Amino acid sequence: MTLDFYFDFVSPYAYVAWHKIYKVAARHGRTVKLHPVLFAAMLDHFGHKGPAEIPPKRLYLFKNVFRLAHAIGVVLEPPPAHPFNPLLALRVAGLDMPEDEQRRAVDALYSAAWAGGPGVTEPHAVAKTLTAAGLDGSTLVARAKESEAKARLRAVTDAAIARGVFGVPTVFAGEELFWGVDSFPHVDAFLAGRDPVPDDLITRWRHIPAQARRSSDSSRSDRNQH
């Protein structure tokens, strides 16, 4: 079974998950397939706000993700800006290249974004980061600017949304979706055959009616009453 790992460099939670995914796979004799996707497109598709777009949540995010990184001994430093534009890095990561080179590229770009590096928005910085990782940085950046790389990222993101991916990091173990770095213990349990979810859970829960529905008009009305 291959573990499909969906990620965006803009997410610090995906950065922490990056340092866990291959260890989880190794424990269960699995391989990892990397899927760089544009998180912003998912937010737009599902009508969500990103965590960093909600000021109190943004502050909590920085503390929470630092605790998570510290717990597994991973360096985490703020990027030059956040949120930032991850398109160039994602297009590089999605280029057709040998698996070991793709892994090295993703690792280097994550370090540039979240381990005190120069960030991943400027072409010269991305090229330098990749070259330092033993790759042909200038060529990879040039390829990432071509229409084929742009179309590839759109296609992978669209396919992820069609598959039900709504955020990052997401892991698919077979056809079972796990979202968020806090779901990794559940990935472990699933792969070990210890998933507590019964086979008929969704069948039994699917038709539970929604008793309350939120709308912008009712929200404003509720606020006016307090």
Q: Are 14 and 106 in contact (CB under 8 A)?
A: no
Rounded Cα–Cα distance for residues 127 and 129 (Å): 5
Q: Which two tokens stand for residue 77?
A: 């430093």
The per-residue pLDDT for range 17-50, each reduced to its tens digit, is: 999 999 999 999 999 999 999 999 999 999 999 9
Q: Note the pTM of the prediction, 2 decimals.
A: 0.93
pLDDT for 221 equals: 44
Q: How many CB atoms lie within 10 A of CB 21?
A: 21
pLDDT tens figures, 68-87: 999 999 999 999 999 999 99
pLDDT at 217: 56
Cα–Cα distance measured from residue 30 to residue 27, given in angstroms and rounded to the nearest whole number:
8
Distance (Å, rounded) from C-alpha 5 to C-alpha 13?
13
Read off the tokens for 22: 């291959």
Q: Are strands 176-179 and 170-173 parallel, antiparallel or unpaired?
A: antiparallel
Reduced to 3 states (helix: H, G, I; strand: E, B; else coil), residue 198 is coil
- Helix-then-strand count for the chain, H and E: 11, 4
Which residue type, as a one-letter code, is found at position 111?
S
Its domain, for residue 220, covers 2-224
pLDDT of 222 reads 46
- Is-contact 39 168, C-beta < 8 A? yes
Q: How far apart are CA 114 and CA 83, in angstroms?
A: 12
Domain count, the chain: 1
Tell me, what CATH number does 81's domain have? Answer: 3.40.30.10
Tokens encoding 147: 């229409």
Beta pairing partners, 36 = 7
State residue 216's pLDDT score: 61
Q: How far apart are CA 42 and CA 101, in angstroms?
A: 27
pLDDT (mean) for 2-25: 98
CA distance 131 to 139: 10
